[in-house]
Structure 1
Amino acid sequence: MSQTTSFQLTHFDPIIVADIGGTNARFAVITDYDVNTNQFSISYQATFPSAQFQSFEAALHCYLEQLTIDTPKRACLAVAGPIKANQVYLTNLGWHFNSQELKDSMRFDELSVINDFAAFAYAAPYLDPEQNIIIKSGQAEQTANIAVMGPGTGFGAACLVRDAGGCAVMSCEAGHISLASVTDLDQALIDEMRTELKHVSIEDVFSGRGLARLYRTMAKVRGVTPQNLTAAQVSEMADECDICDATLNHFCDWIGSVSGDLALTFGALGGVFIGGGILPRMSDRLLSSRFVERFTEKGLMSQYAGQIPVTLVVQDNIPLIGAAACIHERYQG
């Protein structure tokens, strides 16, 4: 278990935070918050393979047994799975727990369980600009809504809603919105996909499996027989395969339109932050694409969209930062 050095500016009640996914269970303790840098101090980090535990409770107990400080009384868990009322499901692991029962059994004063994109939204105001990549410049309004989104295993999105009374996160199912066409090529690709899919959603293109589908569809639209390639293979072969190269270029172009649509939907004048597992690995291609042009092309609302900054988030520990922020925001002031 690693430990970092924290700074003590004022009294801060520590927070147990966790990032629970299908592969790893990551835990840490937030030991301080520096108002001057707007950064949390993340200490006592530990990562365990999720599959070695039969339940989340077992993983949490394993972590707490290794802590060399008193168990904090506040906790927030970011999970890659659905949350319904107090019921939390991690389908890939077969884990299920009740958050109220967990709070009672662990004697926490505070316990929140949020999904991973809600954590991303909570984290957005606390991200370090120097660690991330500006995709589109703009002027963020400091008290306006922030949108987060990104393609990975699926397509996730959420909104940090802010007003004079504070903030809250709005989760959603934006990945299942119907994918809109802007160009003739977009429409040709959607028409081809509709020969296999009744409903072409954002996630059907902007996800790992979606990138592979976009490659196959691009090949058919261009009159070429597609190979059976995974998303990783499409990326790896881009230098030697024209269809792979065109697929990645169009992926970056088209997601500009999608991001702009969601920015308008959420009223995200506070900025858009893009994450997920795919785009951070193709940042150079994204920067050289038509992302900005397509993000901004919104007819009567083009000026509105034009002022919104867009950041590609590549820094570490986003779920842990977001989990900390979820608890911290409730007690500011």
Structure 2
Amino acid sequence: MNSVTKFQPIIVADVGGTNARFALVTDFDVASLQFTIAHAQTFVSAEFTSLESVLSAYIATLPFSQPTRAALAVAGPMKGQEVNLTNLGWRFTLNALKTEFNFQELKVINDFAAFAYAAPYLKTDQNLPIKHGTAETYSNIAVMGPGTGFGAAALVFNDHQQSVLSCEAGHITLAAVNEFERQLISLIAQEVKHVSVETVFSGSGLERLYRAVATVKQQPVEDYSAARISELALLGQCDICQQTLAQFCDWIGSVAGDLALTFGARGGVFIGGGILPRMQDVLLQSQFADRFMQKGIMSHYVADIPVTLVTQDNIPFIGAAASLIAR
């Protein structure tokens, strides 16, 4: 990017089933790789009938003329020019949206693609290293996150050019690395036909894991929600809940290592989502780093890969903007 050229503002968005968040990126500092974010607004998605209607509402709040660039991160599948926000029933095409709002540049990406694009622009002092290492410059970066679902993506470099690879890694089969985990998987398989990463590390997965841990340990199984399991564990009031969170963090270390190998992520692994940031102490005290590196003859490959827990705000905004300026 030519640093002399005046930066043209970018409308950025993080559109999900609950909220549609918008902001304006007004500048990008090449030296520090930092975006300036302003005019942030949050709208309740259910109060609007379409992406076009909520985008119009945001543009109406801006105290100046509409920018001609936009980059939107959306929680929904994309197929060519078509975007479908399943939980809202919103559908649109990129060409129609670009024409309606007279955008000169428009990028629409899914939320984990935005996370991948954002990775090189994150602030080290606002995020938590959970495994130390040395990232290789211009090497692939993997991102992942357990939350309502389990998402993953990679920022891939080729001759200093970059692109994002989206995937469905949440649906890969969860592997056991010891007898205890084999017993857990056997029990969880009685509830779900396919024991995938997502069935254990997202949504009601923590509840499944708790029930399996309690059963294997021959302890009473209480009707606890995921939030209650975490609360009791963090308060030190339930031994099985504590063991469940520890197992969660240990096991996801293996998954993160698998994804590092799959994507060749010598540039680092970044973990987001809504679950792990709430159990930082458990994660740091767990066997995450050891499990990440237990990859047999390829242990040397992952040994120096750094892993970071992302707690910084505005990742979708940063990633959306980065997707538009990335070359």
Return the TM-score normalized by structure 1: 0.95
8 Å Cα contact 1:28/1:45 also seen in 2: yes
Corresponding position of 1:43: 38
Asked whether 1:329 is paired with 2:326, we answer yes
| CA-CA distance at 1:184 after TM superposition | 1.3
Asked whether 1:31 is paired with 2:26, we answer yes
* Structure 2 counterparts to residues 61-100 of structure 1, below 5 A: 61-100=56-95
| CA-CA distance at 1:197 after TM superposition | 2.1
Corresponding position of 2:139: 144
8 Å Cα contact 2:152/2:170 also seen in 1: yes
* Structure 2 counterparts to residues 90-169 of structure 1, below 5 A: 90-169=85-164
| CA-CA distance at 1:213 after TM superposition | 0.8
Corresponding position of 2:54: 59
Question: Paired residue for 1:202, among 193, 197, 200?
Answer: 197
Tell me the SS of whatever aligns to 2:260.
Answer: helix
Cα distance in 2, alignment partners of residues 86 and 163 from structure 1: 25
Corresponding position of 1:13: 8
Alpha-carbon RMSD: 1.1
* Structure 2 counterparts to residues 226-241 of structure 1, below 5 A: 226-238=221-233, 239-241=236-238
1:278-317 deviations in Å (ceiling 9; x for gaps): 0001111100100000000111111111110000000000
Whichever residue aligns with residue 46 of structure 2, its letter is A
State the percentage of identical aligned residues. Answer: 60
Cα distance in 1, alignment partners of residues 137 and 20 from structure 2: 33
Cα distance in 1, alignment partners of residues 192 and 49 from structure 2: 37
Question: Paired residue for 2:283, among 268, 283, 286?
Answer: 286
Question: 1:295–1:198: structure 2 CA closer, same or farther, 3 Å change rule?
Answer: same
Corresponding position of 2:252: 255
1:227-259 deviations in Å (ceiling 9; x for gaps): 121110100111111111100000000000000
Asked whether 1:186 is paired with 2:181, we answer yes
1:254-288 deviations in Å (ceiling 9; x for gaps): 00000000000000000000000000011111001
Tell me the SS of whatever aligns to 1:280.
Answer: helix
Cα distance in 2, alignment partners of residues 111 and 297 from structure 1: 42
Cα distance in 2, alignment partners of residues 278 and 165 from structure 1: 33
Cα distance in 2, alignment partners of residues 213 and 193 from structure 1: 7
1:68-88 deviations in Å (ceiling 9; x for gaps): 122111111100111111111
1:87-130 deviations in Å (ceiling 9; x for gaps): 11112212111121111111111111111000000000000001
8 Å Cα contact 2:138/2:160 also seen in 1: no
Whichever residue aligns with residue 191 of structure 1, its letter is S
Cα distance in 2, alignment partners of residues 35 and 69 from structure 1: 25
Cα distance in 1, alignment partners of residues 23 and 203 from structure 2: 29
Asked whether 1:318 is paired with 2:298, we answer no
Question: Paired residue for 1:264, among 261, 265, 272?
Answer: 261
Corresponding position of 1:4: none
Runs of 4 or more, structure 1, over 4 Å off, are: none
Tell me the SS of whatever aligns to 2:210.
Answer: helix
Cα distance in 1, alignment partners of residues 89 and 224 from structure 2: 30
Question: Paired residue for 1:302, among 299, 304, 316?
Answer: 299
8 Å Cα contact 1:27/1:63 also seen in 2: yes
Tell me the SS of whatever aligns to 1:37.
Answer: coil
Tell me the SS of whatever aligns to 1:204.
Answer: helix
Tell me the SS of whatever aligns to 1:257.
Answer: helix
| CA-CA distance at 1:26 after TM superposition | 0.7
Cα distance in 2, alignment partners of residues 11 and 324 from structure 1: 16
Whichever residue aligns with residue 9 of structure 2, its letter is P
